[in-house]
Amino acid sequence: MYVVGLTGSIGSGKTTVAKLFAAFGVEVVEADVIAAKLTETGTVNFHKIISYFGAAFLTDAKTLNRKKVMQEITNNPEAKLWLENLLHPQVRTQIKTICQNSTAKYCIAVIPILKKTNYPWLQRILLVQSKPELQIERACTRSGLAPSLIKTILKEQNVAIDYANIADAVISNNGTQEDLKGIVAKLHAQYLEVAKLS
């Protein structure tokens, strides 16, 4: 199976780009969606996370307070590393399995923190970039997190991953939705061609 890794820092527009690929019938697998399922109430991971962080990280409905966890790991490197070590290997395994079993022409794997060494089986890496001010605005609107926290996350992500040097292609997401559709359509045509040869 031909798999394209789609990456970019918070608020860059990965989800929007992924939806445009999905409209072409491409199978889209999202790391964040898998991580959310892996930590649903009652799962082994859920209990491990609450055991580590404490009951204060539960909502009134006794579900995981994801916003609070995000705030905590942004300010606590040790907790961030613990959570990544718990979830990232499981997420990688599930992404690979879903892609291997897919009947689509090719797959798009949406991975915010993409390290090439963790995903050696990706054939291409597509980076979505945007102006920082747009990223902050989008991320705040979507997540409800404070702009200061989004700025910290952006900084951390850009330090952790040398995005520009791992990408085979870059989408600049600063224009209109129509601009984006046109770019994705061209890339889709390219990926279809190379997927046939793989």
Question: What does the pLDDT read at residue 148?
Answer: 86
Question: What does the pLDDT read at residue 157?
Answer: 76
Rounded Cα distance, 47 and 131, in Å: 38
Burial class (CB in 10 A: 0-12, 13-18, 19+), 97: exposed
pLDDT < 70 positions in the chain = 159-161, 163-164
Question: What does the pLDDT read at residue 198?
Answer: 72
**Cα dihedral across residues 164, 3, 31, 6: positive or negative:** positive
pTM for this structure? 0.88
Rounded Cα distance, 175 and 178, in Å: 8
Strand order across the 27-30 sheet: 27-30, 107-110, 3-7, 124-129, 169-172
Which among 1, 6, 61, 50 is positioned nearest to 32, based on CA atoms?
6
Rounded Cα distance, 75 and 77, in Å: 6
Q: What are phi and psi of 4, to 5 degrees?
A: -105, 125
Question: What does the pLDDT read at residue 161?
Answer: 66
How many residues are present in the chain?
198
pLDDT tens per residue, range 108-129? 999 988 888 889 999 999 999 8
Question: What does the pLDDT read at residue 150?
Answer: 86
Rounded Cα distance, 198 and 187, in Å: 16
Q: Any idea where the domains of the chain sit in the sequence?
A: 3-197
Structural contact between residues 137 and 93, judged by C-beta atoms closer than 8 angstroms: no
Question: What does the pLDDT read at residue 79?
Answer: 97
Torsion of CA 136, 57, 113, 160, to 10 degrees: 80
Which among 112, 125, 106 is positioned nearest to 188, based on CA atoms?
106
Domain 3-197 listed as CATH 3.10.20.600:
no
Tokens of 25: 């019938």
